[in-house]
Amino acid sequence: MADVNRGNRPLSPHLQVYRPQLNSITSILTRITGNALLVGSLMIVWWLLAAATSESYFAVANAVLTSWFGDLVMLGSLWAIWYHTLAGVRHLIWDNAKMLDLESADILSWIVVIGSVVLTIFTVIVI
């Protein structure tokens, strides 16, 4: 194509011009939680490797995972994985072209947000 100005053209308005909505925020959080779970997952893998290696190595990894920093990552990961799981169920529902209207989508959003917090608190109490 005879477009010599490729790459130097004005961009169409993007995120910065849209008012945040329940839909957009819950959708972005799905991506953030899913990818952020890498941190907690790698820590758990490290913890397992340490347990499989020796008692002294386990003591090091276990100290990190049960420190205040470890607790913070594990608690955050717990909420993130519940959030991502519920948001995933929402996607499985949407894949069947069900509940795509605004009202149903908003209801699902609140279920994901509130449900993830409730499940996190429930898990912390149980385990």
Which positions touch other proteins (CB under 8 A)?
A: 31, 34-35, 37-38, 41-42, 44-45, 47-49, 51-52, 55, 58-59, 62, 65-66, 74, 78, 81, 85, 88-89, 91-92, 95, 123, 126-127
Beta carbon nearer to other proteins, 91 or 98: 91
Instruction: Between 31 and 98, name the residue whose CB sits nearer to other proteins.
Output: 31
| 3-class DSSP assignment, residue 18 | coil
Q: Smaller CB distance to other proteins: residue 96 or 103?
A: 96
End-to-end CA distance of the chain: 62
Task: Tell me which DSSP letter residue 67 carries.
Answer: S
CA-CA distance, 118 to 122, in Å (whole number)?
Answer: 6
Least Cβ distance, residue 9 to other proteins (angstroms): 16
Q: How many angstroms separate the CA atoms of 13 and 2, rounded?
A: 25
- Residue 36 beta carbon to other proteins: minimum distance, rounded to whole angstroms: 11
Those residues whose C-beta lies under 8 Å from the C-beta of residue 74, and which sit 6 or more positions away, are 40, 43, 65
Shortest spacing between CB 110 and other proteins, in angstroms: 20
Smallest separation (angstroms) from other proteins to the CB of 114 = 18
State both tokens at 49. Answer: 């490797």
Residue with Cβ nearer other proteins (58 or 76): 58
| Distance separating alpha carbons of residues 44 and 39, to the nearest angstrom | 9
